[in-house]
Amino acid sequence: MTTVALIPTYQPDCRLLDLVEALRARGVEGVVVDDGSGMRYRPLFKLACRFATVIGYGENHGKGHALKQGLRYIQQHYPEDTVVVTVDADGQHDPADVLRCAQEAQSSHDTMVLGCRSFEEEGVPLRSRLGNKLTREVYHLVSGACVSDTQTGLRAFPAALISFLVAISGERYEYEMNVLLACPAQGVEIREVPVTTIYEEDNASSHFRPVQDSLRIYGGILTFAASSLASFMVDYGLFWLLSTLLVTWGDAGVAVSNVVARLVSASFNFQVNRQLVFRSTESLYVTAVRYALLALSILVANTLSVLLLVDLLRLPAALSKLVVELGFFLFSWVLQSRFVFQGRRY
């Protein structure tokens, strides 16, 4: 069985040469993707050709694009029983760990093996420790799966998964998170293999851009937040108007206002989330039924909560509505991600 190390790289240093040479010595074939590094780096890539296949293109498109280009090349030039291991070019992955992950991936046809680092060891940069903790908690909420290292670039899988992987959206760092989100949704098992934690020079060689790339990685929840905000404005505005007009009805007026406002805003929210946020591929009928069941459950709980705050705490109806909506935001996001829009494009 052939093992191929797929190495996306942008403006690398001599550690790339050390990596491909070490992998070749262990019987691992390398496919290096030059993600538009420029003429200055041509000599280094020419040296890398002694130990690996080097492909590339003129302009920088991002890590996700480079990975998908490499996957297409492997699909066309290697046998179907090949095991692919994605490896970073900056010296963070021990060649021995590459082999361990590959061996784990050989045992299953539909498994994504992650080489997971320990973030409790001395020398791990603070930004990496905090970033991974936040990302894995968000990932768990969205997918329901538990992964200890969502940011690892060391991943092994059989070539049979290549068609699935190249169809996942994302051109830069968000692509790797999209892969992790797509795997549980499509029934691809995720396994973890503990690997050596290596950070050289406080991870200074990384091309990860904290602001831009974090926005890409968390794009899903940010889009959902924008959709929820727009729906909330419709809901809250209509509730305020109706509850003001029906103030003489007492609790009945509050309940009626909440139900009518929620029905209107839920219809709006369903269409936006289905088409833009989760980009569901399932039938309109299936997702509509799931959404209606969820919306009905939340409507009942929401209305009772608003009445509870109005009657027991004597809060104004408008303020009670605001407090309850903020509390239900995360709950709604999790259930829509896991239950309503299961089949979706990543």
DSSP 249: G
Average of per-residue pLDDT values in the chain: 84
How far apart are the C-alpha atoms of 58 and 39, rounded to whole Å? Answer: 9
What's the pLDDT tens digit per position in 217-243?
Answer: 566 666 767 787 888 889 889 999 999
Assign 206 to helix, strand or coil.
coil
How do residues 236-274 score in pLDDT, each as one tens digit? Answer: 899 999 999 998 998 898 889 988 998 898 888 888 878
Average the pLDDT over each of 82-91, 108-117, 165-174, 196-205 and give the range with the smallest value: 196-205
Buried b (16+ CB within 10 A) or exposed e, 42-68: eebbeebeebbbbbbeeebbbbbbbbb
* Pick from 88, 250, 251, 74: nearest CA to 163: 74
Q: Name which of 24, 9, 2 is nearest 55 in CA terms.
A: 9
pLDDT tens-place string over residues 138-189 = 777 767 788 888 889 999 999 999 999 999 888 887 889 889 888 887 889 9
The pTM of the full predicted model, rounded to 2 decimals, is 0.69
Rounded Cα–Cα distance for residues 325 and 13 (Å): 51
Looking from the CA of 214 toward its CB, the CA atoms found within 13 Å total 11
Tens digits of residue pLDDT in 277-321: 667 777 787 888 888 888 888 888 888 898 888 888 888 887 888
Tell me which residue of 249, 270, 258 sits closest to 306, measured CA to CA.
258
Domains defined for the chain, CATH in brackets: 3-217 (3.90.550.10), 221-340 (no CATH)
Interatomic CA distance for residues 182 and 175, integer angstroms: 10
Q: CB under 8 Å to 199, separation ≥6 — which residues?
A: 92, 123, 124, 125, 128
Distance of CA 75 to the CA centre of its chain: 24
Tell me which residue has tokens 């973890």.
Answer: 192
